[in-house]
C-alpha cells in the first residue's frame, strides 16, 4: 500500500476493487433470503444491463453441480481440454487466498490487470442502473456475471462452470443451453438451503439440467439417483452413469490430484470432455466408458500438476524447521468428505513414516502429497511423528456428524490425534482480500469453538484406544499454563483465540522439543485452509 499526502495508507487499485467487491457482501447467512440481490429472477436483468445475453449464448459451456468433487471434476476437465489444444476458461469457488483464483484462463489465474478492467466494466454499469427494484447483485452473483464477461471477452473455446451452491437457483444457471452438464457425488451439505434429504438435494442439483442437453453423473445413493433420473426424464435429458477411471488407463502415471476418490472425479471429467468434443464437432462419437486406452492428451491432462489448493494438499511450514511441522490441508466439510479426508490423511502419514518426508524447498502451495523425497535410507526415524487436528467449521454445520466420522475413520487406520486445536477463522466474512483486518483476539466470540471442543472431548471419552494414550513429552502440558495462547485447554483439545496464536504454539512446541514432528490435519472449512496458507506463506 502506498502513502497518502496525510501520511495515511493509500489502497492500491486492486485493494480498491476488493473494497468495492466487499460492499456486495450484505449478509452473513446464505439461508437469509431478505436481500433482493439474491432473487434469481433478477439475474436476467443483470445480464441485460451488462449486454451479456448474446455472449453467453455463444459460449460452449460445461456446467457441473454436486456436493463433493465438483471442483476437482472441473479442474480435470479444464486440464484435459487445454491439453487438447483449446483455449479454456474455468470458474470455480471459493477462492482461498486471492479472488482471482476463481477465474482461470488457460489454466492460470486471471492477471490483476485484466481482472481490474473487467471488474470495473461490470461494477460501474450495474451501479449506474441500480435501483430499489434492481439493487446491486449480491457477492457471488456478481462474481458469476463477471466470469461470463471475462470468458466472452477473452473468446475462450470452452467455459467450465462450477456451481456455487445447489444448482436450480445458482447464479451460474442463467446458462440456457450448455453443451453438457455433470453432477458429481451427492451428499448432505448446505441442508439449511437445499433440504434435509438426499432427494431434495438431488432435486436442487438437477436444476441445471436443460431440455435435450446430455447430463452425466457418477454412482449415487439410490434416493439421489432416482431423483436425478426423474428430473432427466421430465426434460428429455439423456442421463448417463459414469464409472470411476481405471487407473491402468494412465499408463503408469499418477493423477494430478491426490486421493482415491479422485478416480471418480477423473472418470466424470473424461466423459464430460469427450461429450463436449463430440457435440462441438471435434470428435465423431464420445469415448466409450469401457475403453482400453485414452488419448495421450487426456492422460496428460489428468496427470499434469494441476493446482487446486486446499484439496488433499501437503505443505511444510515456511519456518526454521519445515520438515518438523507439516500441514495436511483438506477443505472437507460434509460427513462423506470428512471420511475421504480422514482416509487420505491416514494413508499419507503412513507413507511419510515409511522413510518419506516432504522436500524442504521454498513453499509451493500447489504441491501435493506425491512431492516427497527419501530420507533416512537406513529406515530409522529420527523424530516421533505426532498427529494434531486443527479444526473449524461453519456454525450451520453439525459437528456431531463431522467429527465422529473423522475420528473413527482415522482410528480404523491406526491414526489417533494427540491434540485437537479449535480456532476461529482469520478472514472476516464481510471483507475480501488479505488487506482487511480481522477482530483482535480479545474481541472474538469463541462460543462456537467451545462447542466444537465439547463435542471432541466427549468423543475422546468414549474412545480411549491405545494409540491415543501414547506419550509425546511434556510439551503438551505447557499449553495449559500458557493463558495468553490458549483460552481453554482440556486433556485432548484446546481453544485458541486466533489462528495465528495456534500456529505460534505449534512452532514454539517444535522448537522446545527436538524429538517431535507435528503432522497437522487442517480441515472443516475451506476458509480455514485459506487462512492457514496465508499465514505459513509469510
Polymer length of the chain:
538
Is 330 annotated as a binding-site member?
yes
Q: State residue 112's pLDDT score.
A: 97
CATH 3.40.1190.10 residue ranges in the chain?
Answer: 36-301
CATH 3.90.380.10 fits 313-357+382-432+444-462+485-537, yes or no: no
Q: Is the pLDDT of residue 364 over 60?
A: no
Lookup result for grid cell 502419514: 349
- Residue 306 predicted with pLDDT over 80: no
Highest mean pLDDT among 75-79, 184-188, 253-257, 440-444: 75-79
Contact predicate 536/390, CB 8 Å: no
Record the cell numbers describing residue 328, joined without a space: 495436511
CATH of 36-301, one of 3.40.50.800, 3.10.129.10, 3.40.1190.10, 3.40.50.720: 3.40.1190.10
B/e letters for 263-284, b = 16+ CB within 10 Å, e = fewer, are: bbbbbbbbbbbbbbbbbeeebe
Question: How far does Cα 61 stand from its chain's mean position?
Answer: 21
Q: Check residue 6 and give its pLDDT.
A: 47
CA 444 centroid distance within chain: 25
Per-residue pLDDT, averaged over 70-78, amounts to 96
Asked whether residue 439 carries a pLDDT value surpassing 60, the answer given is no
The tens digit of pLDDT for each residue in 227-237 reads 999 999 999 99
pTM greater than the 0.85 cutoff: no
Neighbours of 31 (CB within 10 A): 12
335 pLDDT band (50/70/90 cuts)?
confident
Residue 421, classed as helix, strand or coil, is strand
How much is the pLDDT for 368?
Answer: 38
Instruction: Give ranges for CATH 3.90.190.20 in the chain.
Output: 313-357+382-432+444-462+485-537
Chain-centroid distance of CA 417 in Å reads 23
Distance CA 390, CA 403 (A): 12
Q: Which position has the higher pLDDT, 464 or 318?
A: 318
341 pLDDT more than 50: yes
Nearest to 145 by CA among 127, 132, 133: 127
Does the pLDDT value for residue 45 go beyond 70?
yes
pLDDT value of position 495: 95
498-508 tens-digit pLDDT? 999 999 999 99
The chain-wide mean pLDDT, for the chain, equals: 85
- Percentage of the chain exceeding pLDDT 90: 63
Q: pLDDT tens, 132-149?
A: 999 999 999 999 999 999
190 is in an annotated binding site: yes
pLDDT given for residue 383 in this prediction: 74
SS3 352: helix
3-state secondary structure of 422: strand
Cβ(35)–Cβ(21) under 8 Å? no
Peptide bond into 94 cis (omega under 30): yes
Backbone angles phi, psi at 81, to 5 degrees: -70, -30
Q: Is 45 annotated as a binding residue?
A: no
pLDDT of residue 288: 78
Give, as one character, the DSSP assignment of residue 318. Answer: S
- Stronger pLDDT, 165 or 357, i.e. the higher one: 165
List pLDDT tens digits, range 170-224.
999 999 999 999 999 998 765 555 656 899 999 999 999 999 999 999 999 999 9
| Nearest C-alpha neighbor of 204 from the set 178, 236, 166, 173 | 166
Amino acid at each position: 500500500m502506498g502513502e497518502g499526502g496525510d501520511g495515511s495508507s493509500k489502497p492500491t487499485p486492486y485493494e480498491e476493487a476488493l473494497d468495492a467487491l466487499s460492499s456486495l457482501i450484505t449478509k452473513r447467512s446464505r439461508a437469509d433470503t431478505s436481500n433482493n440481490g439474491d432473487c434469481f429472477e433478477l439475474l436476467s436483468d443483470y445480464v441485460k444491463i451488462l449486454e451479456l445475453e448474446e455472449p453467453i449464448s455463444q459460449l460452449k459451456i460445461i456446467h457441473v453441480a454436486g456436493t463433493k468433487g465438483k471442483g476437482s471434476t472441473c479442474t480435470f476437465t479444464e486440464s484435459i481440454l487445454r491439453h487438447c489444444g483449446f483455449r479454456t476458461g474455468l470458474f470455480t469457488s471459493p477462492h482461498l487466498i486471492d479472488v482471482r483464483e476463481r477465474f482461470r484462463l488457460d489454466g492460470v489465474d486471471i492477471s490483476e490487470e485484466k481482472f481490474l478492467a473487467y471488474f470495473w466494466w461490470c461494477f460501474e454499469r450495474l451501479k449506474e442502473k441500480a435501483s430499489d427494484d434492481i439493487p446491486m447483485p449480491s457477492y457471488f452473483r456478481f462474481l458469476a456475471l463477471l466470469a461470463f464477461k471475462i470468458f466472452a471477452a477473452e473468446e475462450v473455446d470452452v467455459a467450465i462452470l462450477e456451481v456455487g451452491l445447489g444448482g436450480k437457483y445458482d447464479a451460474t444457471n442463467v446458462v440456457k443451453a450448455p453443451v453438457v452438464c455433470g453432477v458429481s457425488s451427492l451428499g448432505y451439505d448446505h441442508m439449511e438451503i437445499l433440504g434435509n434429504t438426499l432427494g431434495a438435494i438431488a432435486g436442487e442439483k438437477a436444476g441445471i439440467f436443460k431440455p435435450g442437453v446430455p447430463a452425466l453423473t457418477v454412482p449415487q445413493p439410490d434416493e439421489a439417483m432416482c431423483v436425478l433420473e426423474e428430473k432427466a426424464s421430465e426434460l428429455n435429458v439423456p442421463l448417463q452413469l459414469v464409472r470411476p477411471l481405471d487407473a491402468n488407463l494412465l499408463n503408469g502415471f499418477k493423477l494430478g490430484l491426490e486421493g482415491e476418490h479422485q478416480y471418480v472425479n477423473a472418470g466424470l471429467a473424461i466423459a464430460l470432455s469427450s461429450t463436449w468434443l463430440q457435440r462441438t464437432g471435434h470428435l465423431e462419437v464420445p469415448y466409450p466408458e469401457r475403453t482400453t486406452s485414452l488419448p495421450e492428451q487426456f492422460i496428460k491432462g489428468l496427470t499434469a500438476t494441476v493446482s487446486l489448493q486446499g484439496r488433499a494438499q501437503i505443505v511444510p511450514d515456511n519456518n526454521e524447521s519445515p520438515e518438523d511441522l507439516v500441514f495436511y490441508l483438506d477443505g472437507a466439510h460434509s460427513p462423506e468428505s470428512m471420511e475421504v479426508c480422514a482416509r487420505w490423511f491416514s494413508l499419507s502419514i503412513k507413507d511419510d513414516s515409511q522413510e518419506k518426508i516432504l522436500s524442504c524447498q521454498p513453499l509451493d502451495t500447489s504441491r501435493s502429497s506425491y512431492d516427497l523425497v527419501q530420507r533416512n535410507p537406513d529406515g530409522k526415524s529420527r523424530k516421533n511423528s505426532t498427529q494434531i487436528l486443527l479444526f473449524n467449521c461453519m456454525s450451520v454445520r453439525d459437528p456431531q456428524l463431522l467429527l465422529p466420522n473423522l475420528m473413527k475413520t482415522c482410528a480404523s487406520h491406526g491414526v489417533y490425534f494427540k491434540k485437537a486445536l479449535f480456532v476461529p477463522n482469520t478472514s472476516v466474512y464481510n471483507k475480501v482480500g488479505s488487506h482487511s483486518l480481522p477482530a483482535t483476539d480479545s474481541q472474538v466470540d469463541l462460543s462456537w469453538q467451545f462447542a466444537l471442543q465439547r463435542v471432541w472431548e466427549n468423543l475422546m471419552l468414549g474412545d480411549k484406544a491405545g494409540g491415543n494414550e501414547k506419550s509425546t513429552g511434556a510439551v503438551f502440558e505447557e499449553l495449559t499454563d500458557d493463558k495468553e495462547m490458549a483460552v481453554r485447554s482440556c486433556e485432548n483439545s484446546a481453544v485458541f483465540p486466533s489462528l495465528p496464536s495456534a500456529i505460534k504454539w505449534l512452532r514454539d512446541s517444535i522448537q522446545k522439543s527436538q524429538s517431535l514432528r507435528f503432522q497437522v490435519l487442517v480441515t472443516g472449512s475451506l476458509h480455514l485452509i485459506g487462512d492457514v496458507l496465508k499465514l505459513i506463506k509469510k
